[in-house]
C-alpha cells in the first residue's frame, strides 16, 4: 500500500500543473485590467502603466507564468492585488470557515441520503419509494442559491429561528450547510437505492434471510456493507462539489470563507488570489480522493493495492 500511496502522491504534481496552466490562461482571458482597478477610476494612464509594470502585468504571459511557477515551488502563492497580503495567509484565514461548512454539509448529505436511499430500496415501487425519488429529483434540480434564499425567507424572516448571514457561531452554519447538503443528499439517496437493490437479491442475502436473521441486520450488516464502495466514491466526489457549492452559499449567507473570497477576487481581477484558491481547492480534492481510494480496502478486504 505504501508504494501505491507514493505513486498517487506523485500523480498530484502533473495534475496541479495542468490546473495551474488552465486557470492561468482562463483568468488572463477575462476582460478587465487589474492595474486599472487597483489604481482607481481617477488615476492617469501613466499611473496605471506604472502599476502594471510593478506587478509584472506588462510582460508576456509565458514569462508571467514562469515567475508564478518559480514562486510556487518555494511555497509562495503570490501577493493579493486587492489586499497586498500573502495569498496563502488569506486562504488559511478563511479556509476553516469553508471546511466547517463543507463537513456539516457532508454530515447532512450522509444522514439524509443514506436514510432516504435505504427506506426507498427496502420497499421498491411503494409510496415511500415514489416520495423519496420525487425528493431526489427536486433536490438535484434546485439551484443552491435559490434554496439558500428560501431557507433565509422561512427560518430567518418569518420564523426568526436562525440568522440569515455571518459565521460567528455554530447556528450561523446551519442554513448554508442545509442549502448545499440537501442537493447532494438527493444524489446519494438515488445511488444508495440502486446499490442496495443490486445487492439485496444476491444469494448471500437470501441465505441470511433463510437462516432467520432479522431484517434490520440483513439490510445494515449484509446488504449495506457490500454496497458501500460506490457510496464512499460519491461521498468523496461530492466533497469537491460541496467545496464549489460553498462559493454560492457563502455569498448568499455573507460568510467570510474561501468561496466568498474567490468571488471577490474575480470581481477585482485579483490574479494571484484566484490562482492560489483554485490550486488549493484542487489539491484538497485530490487528497480527499486518495483517502477515499484507501478506504476501499477497509470496507472490502478483497481490495488490495500491492
Average confidence score pLDDT of the chain: 82
Per-residue pLDDT band at 52 (split at 50, 70, 90):
confident
In this predicted structure, what is the pLDDT of residue 294?
77
Give the closest residue to 123 by CA, choosing from 114, 131, 111.
131
Give yes or no for residue 306 having a pLDDT over 70: no
User: What is the rounded CA–CA span in Å between residue 242 and residue 144?
Assistant: 10
Per-residue pLDDT band at 303 (split at 50, 70, 90):
low
Give yes or no for residue 305 having a pLDDT over 70: no
In this predicted structure, what is the pLDDT of residue 75?
82
Do residues 81 and 269 lie in contact, with contact meaning Cβ atoms separated by under 8 Å?
A: yes
Model pTM greater than 0.85?
A: no
Tell me the mean pLDDT in the region 11-25.
85
> Which carries the bigger pLDDT value, residue 121 or residue 300?
121
Tell me the pLDDT tens digit for each residue of 255-274: 888 888 888 888 888 888 88
DSSP conformation letters of the chain: -HHHHHHHHHHHHHHHHHHHHHHHHHHHHSS--HHHHHH-TTS-HHHHHHHHHHHTTTS-HHHHHHHHHHHHHTT---B-TTT-SBHHHHHHHHHHHHHHHHHHHHHHHHHHHHHHHHHHHHSTTSHHHHHHHHHHHHHHHS-HHHHHHHHIIIIIIIS--S-SS--SSTHHHHHHHHHHHHHHHHHHHHHHHHHHHHHHTSHHHHHHHHTT--HHHIIIIIIHHHTHHHHHHHHHHHHHHHHHHHHHHHHHTT--SHHHHHHHHHHTT-HHHHHHHHHHHHHHHHHHHHHHHHHHHHH-TT----
Give 231's contacts (C-beta < 8 A, 6+ positions apart).
114, 188, 191, 192, 195
| CA distances to 159, 248, 265 from 109, in Å | 24, 17, 29
Tell me the pLDDT tens digit for each residue of 203-217: 777 787 787 777 777
Tell me the mean pLDDT in the region 41-46.
75
Tell me the pLDDT tens digit for each residue of 273-285: 888 888 888 888 8
In this predicted structure, what is the pLDDT of residue 203?
79
Tell me the pLDDT tens digit for each residue of 97-131: 988 988 999 999 889 888 888 888 888 778 888 88
User: What is the rounded CA–CA span in Å between residue 257 and residue 123?
Assistant: 42
Tell me the mean pLDDT in the region 11-40.
81
In this predicted structure, what is the pLDDT of residue 113?
87
Least confident of 32-41, 94-103, 127-136: 32-41
Beta bridge partners of 79: 86
Q: Give me the percent of the chain exceeding a pLDDT of 90.
A: 2
Domains of the chain: 2-73 (no CATH), 87-299 (1.10.3720.10)
Amino acid at each position: 500500500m505504501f508504494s501505491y500511496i507514493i505513486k498517487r502522491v506523485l500523480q498530484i504534481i502533473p495534475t496541479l500543473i495542468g490546473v495551474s496552466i488552465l486557470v492561468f490562461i482562463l483568468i488572463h482571458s477575462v476582460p478587465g485590467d487589474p492595474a486599472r482597478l487597483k489604481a482607481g477610476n481617477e488615476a492617469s494612464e501613466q499611473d496605471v502603466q506604472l502599476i502594471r509594470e510593478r506587478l509584472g502585468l506588462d510582460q508576456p504571459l509565458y514569462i508571467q507564468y514562469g515567475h508564478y511557477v518559480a514562486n510556487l515551488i518555494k511555497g509562495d502563492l503570490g501577493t493579493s492585488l486587492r489586499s497586498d497580503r500573502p495569498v496563502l495567509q488569506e486562504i488559511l484565514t478563511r479556509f476553516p470557515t469553508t471546511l466547517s461548512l463543507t463537513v456539516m454539509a457532508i454530515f447532512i448529505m450522509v444522514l439524509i441520503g443514506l436514510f432516504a436511499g435505504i427506506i426507498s430500496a427496502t420497499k421498491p415501487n411503494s409510496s415511500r419509494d415514489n416520495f423519496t425519488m420525487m425528493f431526489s429529483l427536486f433536490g438535484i434540480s434546485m439551484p443552491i442559491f435559490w434554496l439558500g434564499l428560501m431557507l433565509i425567507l422561512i427560518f430567518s424572516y418569518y420564523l426568526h429561528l436562525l440568522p440569515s448571514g455571518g459565521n460567528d457561531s455554530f447556528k450561523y452554519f446551519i442554513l448554508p450547510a442545509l442549502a448545499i447538503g440537501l442537493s447532494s443528499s438527493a444524489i446519494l439517496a438515488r445511488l444508495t437505492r440502486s446499490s442496495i437493490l443490486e445487492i439485496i437479491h444476491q444469494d448471500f442475502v437470501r441465505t441470511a434471510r433463510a437462516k432467520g436473521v432479522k431484517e434490520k441486520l440483513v439490510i445494515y450488516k449484509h446488504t449495506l456493507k457490500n454496497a458501500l464502495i460506490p457510496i464512499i466514491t460519491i461521498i468523496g466526489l461530492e466533497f469537491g462539489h460541496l467545496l464549489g457549492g460553498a462559493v454560492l452559499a457563502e455569498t448568499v449567507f455573507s460568510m467570510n470563507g474561501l468561496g466568498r473570497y474567490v468571488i471577490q477576487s474575480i470581481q477585482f481581477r485579483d490574479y494571484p488570489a484566484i490562482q492560489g484558491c483554485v490550486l488549493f481547492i484542487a489539491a484538497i480534492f485530490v487528497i480527499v480522493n486518495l483517502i477515499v481510494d484507501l478506504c476501499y480496502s477497509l470496507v472490502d478486504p478483497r481490495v488490495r493495492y500491492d
